[in-house]
Amino acid sequence: MKKYILVSALSVAVCLSSCKKDFLAQTNPNAVTVENYFKTENDVLLAVNGAYQSLRSSNTMGENSGLFTDERSDDTGRNDNQSNAGEPFQFNDFSLLPSNSYLKSHWLALYQSITRANVILSNIDKVTFTNEANKQNYSAEAKFIRAIMYFELVRKWGAVPLVTKQLNTIDEVKASTFRVPEADVYNQIVADLKDGLNSSLPNFQPESGIGRVSKAALNAYLGKVYLTMAATLPNNKAENLTNANTYLLAAYNMRTFGNLSEIPYSQVFDVAKKTTCKELLFQIVYKQGDINYSSSIAANNQAKGETINSQKASTGIGGNLKLDLVNEYETADLRKDFSIKYANDATVKDWFITKFRDASDAATKNGYGGNDCILMRYADVILMLAEVNMLQGNDAVAIQYLDMVRARAAMPLYAVAKTDATYAAKFPTLKLAILHERRVELAFEHQRWFDLIRCFTATELVTYLKAKPQASYGIAKLANVTTKDRYYPIPFDEVKLDPVKMYQNPGY
């Protein structure tokens, strides 16, 4: 990581910097160094926009980043262990190697995004603001981006290097290159998110600000962070659950609708309603019809012979999913009919993802869709409120929240559902019922792997996954999963550079 943090710190997007080497004794006359870049409020705004832009990458949190989340879980995967040297297949096969180039790219991209935020925060004081609130808000946005990137890192790798300032020299890089305890990373995440609540950011962004963080989103993320801390850190579980409940309720009470049932499930993903849907809390914005900034997820997911997602003709299997997920949907669940479909082409006979659609003329036959990547929405908040109340022993309240989501899906309420022998056998506890509801409600939204590692210890996760029928999982081998798979391996290059400070996770 030594060289990667240095490179990203000195070569941030929007030409924030240039790297000087004395032995070359020359400079690029068109380059703008960090020291000379930050002069006006607009310079800061452009840098913040650049930090948001980094979220779009398939190597960070963009719509095509499912390899690092959904494909690690029991929801999706691939039945091709040969393409790209078989490296993508390793994630779902639980045969992930520290040398995996996709893993390295993911790690690097997350830190590059953090670096963009750090550069802003390290230089914002150089600028004189006519409106102090703007400075406060830009700082809050940069901290939010840094926080959610560290949230990705700490959940996937555990202890990771924690860098909160711009690094300018090799000595500074060396001093920052070591793994810190998970608790320290979480504390920084919490501090960054809370700073945003002290800003003048709006509760919800106006239509012109869709894609930027709001106080409602900050509360929701704080709730999720505290809920994760309660499940994964050994100390202060009760306090973390209390905090989770507090911030999730704050987000929920900010809502501008009454009951979740007022918002049809299909409208949450309707391209025409993405700026007005009251359920959406935070999303990565894609521009319909634009060759550079459009969404490709609808076209990418579509199977050969199908037209439901996009006008772009498909030649492959599309967004593949596991039969294990197909079998978990209850009978008549409208979310199943909306989210997945069976392709019956002569050469492709398999289930594929239909949750993200844009078959409009505006998307063209090239599949330049307008789908946004939803990172936080109210159904997620409501189901987290169910989870936290269940963990606090408030089952009756937990069931009330669970039923809000089931009612919107026109499913029997929990008291009725658990009298059904099939439902009761599959989900014998309230915990498993909530986990099931999250699975079918939030399928393909990059939540499932995080739900699994939050709800189960490493040992429990192995037991849970190995209990599944291999026939419903595909060619990836469930027999491979062990307790080491709770975390990803630290990329090989990072460990090699400093085997002591960048020690490898157990089992790799």
Taking residue 124's Cβ as centre, other Cβ atoms within 10 Å add up to 20
Q: What is the mean pLDDT of the chain?
A: 93
Asked if residue 442 belongs to a domain, the reply is no
| Confidence grade of residue 19 (pLDDT, cut at 50, 70, 90) | very low
| pLDDT 10s digits, 331-341 | 999 999 999 99
| Confidence grade of residue 35 (pLDDT, cut at 50, 70, 90) | confident
Domain count, the chain: 2
Asked if residue 6 belongs to a domain, the reply is yes
DSSP per residue over 241-259, as a string? HHHHHHHHHHHHHT-SSS-
Mean per-residue pLDDT, 267-287: 98
Same domain assignment for residues 193 and 89: yes
| Confidence grade of residue 22 (pLDDT, cut at 50, 70, 90) | very low
Same domain assignment for residues 190 and 313: no
* Token output for 202: 């709006």
The confidence score (pLDDT) of residue 131 equals 93
Same domain assignment for residues 20 and 146: yes
Same domain assignment for residues 83 and 180: yes
Same domain assignment for residues 44 and 189: yes
Same domain assignment for residues 62 and 185: yes
Q: If you search the block for the tokens 């069976």, which residue do you land on?
A: 342
Kind and range of the H or E run holding 22: none
Q: If you search the block for the tokens 């490493």, which residue do you land on?
A: 458
The confidence score (pLDDT) of residue 36 equals 82
Asked if residue 268 belongs to a domain, the reply is no
- The more confident residue out of 307 and 80 is 307
Mean per-residue pLDDT, 4-21: 33
CB within 8 Å of 89: residues ≥ 6 apart: 78, 80, 81, 82, 83, 95, 476
Q: Which residue segment(s) compose the domain that 105 sits in? A: 2-201
CA distances from 332 to 66, 306, 337 (A): 27, 22, 8
CB distance 64 to 58 below 8 Å: yes
Same domain assignment for residues 290 and 197: no
CB distance 447 to 453 below 8 Å: no
Mean per-residue pLDDT, 78-92: 92
CB within 8 Å of 197: residues ≥ 6 apart: 215, 218, 219, 222
Same domain assignment for residues 46 and 189: yes
End-to-end Cα separation, the chain, in angstroms: 18
Same domain assignment for residues 51 and 179: yes
| Confidence grade of residue 82 (pLDDT, cut at 50, 70, 90) | confident
Taking residue 343's Cβ as centre, other Cβ atoms within 10 Å add up to 20
CB distance 374 to 244 below 8 Å: no
Mean per-residue pLDDT, 7-28: 35
Long-range (24+ apart) CB contacts under 8 A made by 78-85 are 78/320, 78/474, 78/476, 79/320, 79/474, 79/475, 79/476, 81/475, 81/476
CB within 8 Å of 458: residues ≥ 6 apart: 483, 484, 485, 486
* Token output for 71: 């494909």
Which 8-state DSSP code applies to residue 497? H
Asked if residue 401 belongs to a domain, the reply is no
| pLDDT 10s digits, 379-437 | 999 999 999 999 999 999 999 999 999 999 999 999 999 999 999 999 999 999 999 99
Domain containing 146 — which CATH number? 1.25.40.390
The confidence score (pLDDT) of residue 178 equals 97
CA angle 273, 274, 279 (to 5 degrees): 95
Model confidence, pTM = 0.94
DSSP per residue over 95-136, as a string? ---TT-HHHHHHHHHHHHHHHHHHHHHHHGGGSPPSSHHHHH
CB distance 27 to 261 below 8 Å: no
Asked if residue 215 belongs to a domain, the reply is no
| pLDDT 10s digits, 422-436 | 999 999 999 999 999
The one-letter code for the residue type at 423 is Y
| pLDDT 10s digits, 114-152 | 999 999 999 999 999 999 999 999 999 999 999 999 999
Asked if residue 271 belongs to a domain, the reply is no
Distance CA 153, CA 182 (A): 10
Question: Pick from 36, 65, 35, 37: which is nearest to 50 by CA?
Answer: 37
* Token output for 508: 């790799």
Among candidate residues 144, 171, 201, the one where a domain is terminated:
201
Same domain assignment for residues 59 and 189: yes
What is the CA 213 to chain-centroid distance, rounded? 15
How many Cα atoms occupy the beta-carbon half-sphere of 183 within 13 Å?
A: 7
Taking residue 130's Cβ as centre, other Cβ atoms within 10 Å add up to 7
What is the CA 233 to chain-centroid distance, rounded? 20
CA distances from 103 to 72, 316, 344, 490, 492 (A): 12, 25, 34, 9, 10
Same domain assignment for residues 16 and 149: yes
Three-class HEC string of 275-318: CCCCCEEEEECCCCCCCCCCECHHHHHCCCCCCCCCCCCCCCCC
The confidence score (pLDDT) of residue 444 equals 98
The confidence score (pLDDT) of residue 30 equals 57
| Confidence grade of residue 31 (pLDDT, cut at 50, 70, 90) | low
Same domain assignment for residues 195 and 341: no
| pLDDT 10s digits, 159-211 | 999 999 999 999 999 899 999 999 999 999 999 999 999 999 999 999 999 99
Among candidate residues 371, 405, 425, the one where a domain is terminated:
371
Mean per-residue pLDDT, 357-374: 98
Among candidate residues 306, 336, 371, the one where a domain is terminated:
371
Asked if residue 314 belongs to a domain, the reply is yes
254, pLDDT greater than 80 = yes
Asked if residue 10 belongs to a domain, the reply is yes
